[in-house]
Amino acid sequence: MYDERLLLLDPRDTVLVVRGRIAAGEAIRLDGTIVTAERDFPLAHKLARHAIKRGDIILKYGAPIGVATDDIAAGAHVHVHNMRSAYTPTYTLDAEKGASA
């Protein structure tokens, strides 16, 4: 069972989505474990459902959204500071500039 302020979008997900603000220092229930929020979590931000190792694929909606660039503890914030995007861009500005040159 998870804290009511968190949303599990898909059972395969490695992250939970914040649906109710969580303040730094508050207790968060993660599937039978209690962790302390390391920071304030605004709405719609992600936190680790369990420990994630560097190089692990991060799943949201059951789909890969990124790769962990550092080890991430259970309950820690998951964002650009500890993951890189797994989205494939359909174009880049450099490619666009090269095509028109």
Quote the pLDDT of residue 11: 97
- Comparing CA positions, the residue from 3, 51, 1 lying closest to residue 27 is 3
Closest CA to 14 of 55, 54, 62: 62
**CA end-to-end span of the chain, whole Å?**
56
Give domain limits for the chain. Answer: 6-100
> For the domain 6-100, what is the CATH code?
2.30.130.110
Q: Is-contact 37 20, C-beta < 8 A?
A: no
Beta carbons within 8 Å of 47's beta carbon, 6+ residues apart: 6, 15, 16, 18, 28, 41, 75, 76, 77, 78
Rounded to two decimals, the pTM is 0.82
pLDDT tens sequence across 12-21: 999 999 999 9
What tens-digit pLDDT sequence spans the chain (101 residues)?
A: 889 999 999 999 999 999 999 999 999 999 889 999 999 999 999 999 999 999 999 999 999 999 999 999 999 999 999 999 876 554 454 555 555 54
